[in-house]
Amino acid sequence: MGGLFQGRCGDNARAAVRLAFHDAGTFSLALQENALPNGGADGSILTDPTEVLRTENNGLQSIVSLLQPLPAQFGVSAGDIVHVAGVLAVLACPGGPQIPAFVGRREALNIAPMGLLPSPEDPVATLVARFADMGISSRSMIALIGAHTTGKQRFVNTTLANSSFDTTVDIWDTRFYTQTSEPTIDLPGTFKLDSDVAFASDPTTSGDFNRFIGAQSIWQSDYIAAHEQMSLLGQNVDDLTDCSEMLPVSIDLAPLAEVTSTGGGGSNKPVTDPLIDPIKLEAAIEQFRGIWLDPPVIIPS
């Protein structure tokens, strides 16, 4: 399945990470407690023909089309495909960590409820409350939005479509936190979501947001736990099979940093995000993701 991303942190990888959240992010503890139809990490976005057409799912139609044949091909559920694809998509991005992957999810019992996906226009208190209703803490929420480091916006402001959220859109690093924390600095080709800027400054979330600036290992540790939790929303992990042993290794960014590096990217803060040497980066991609590339690159052992 990793071949979908062709070894690159490109649009398919970005979409697969977003798809995993849009599938799982409709889970609600309140609905569960009241035995009402619920969302969750169940792949309903692949199986229901109308769900992917909702406004909040704009831009996901292509990745849904690519993934729809795979449950039958691999003999697993739609939910398994969505969430294994999300894990592999993170690994397609240099610096992206290994997240535990599971299979054995049951098929979706119903279409995901409307109106539960968080919006970038919601105030911080509303977003914190919505994530709490998923069972996700405020700190884990802030870790999850770090996936914006490889994201692009296309529909929030269509005049600036394809703008990225930081200046290293093809690398899974903490530069998103660094650059978003400077709301008055506009970097060419980038776009700041109102909710992200608010997270960086609101007293209830700024501590967690700033904790991740330049702290790749701390963020990765928190992100792994948060993404795993998200991928299991509405599921009983005891019913699932851990298939993490199939995952490729993460591409470590530390050995790829330039010897002399400035990484503030326009920020007035001290350098926290080393620049990555493009030659070393390409060599690492060929070494660790060569089989995913098109055409594949096989490096003799």
The annotation status of 96 as a binding-site residue, yes or no, is: no
Residue 83 annotated as binding site = no
227 labelled ligand-binding: no
Q: Which burial class, exposed, middle or buried, applies to 54 when counting CB atoms under 10 A from its CB (0-12, 13-18, 19+)?
A: middle
Residue 222 in marked binding region: no
CA-closest candidate to residue 52, choices 118, 123, 112, 133: 112
44 among the known binding-site residues? yes
Q: Is 22 in the active site?
A: yes
**Is 42 flagged in the annotation as binding?**
yes
The dihedral over CA atoms of 195, 199, 201, 204, expressed in degrees to the nearest 10, equals 130
Count of alpha carbons within 13 Å of 76, Cβ hemisphere only? 21
Q: CB of 230 within 8 A of CB of 237? A: no
Task: Please indicate if the annotation marks 77 as binding a ligand.
Answer: no
List 22, 152, 175, 192, catalytic entry: 22
Q: Per the annotation, does 48 bind a ligand? A: no
Residue 149 labeled ligand binder: yes
CA–CA gap between residue 166 and residue 150 (Å, rounded): 8
Annotated binding site for heme b: 148
- Which residues form the catalytic set? 22
Annotated binding site for Ca(2+): 23, 40, 42, 44, 149, 166, 168, 173
Annotated binding site: 23, 40, 42, 44, 148-149, 166, 168, 173
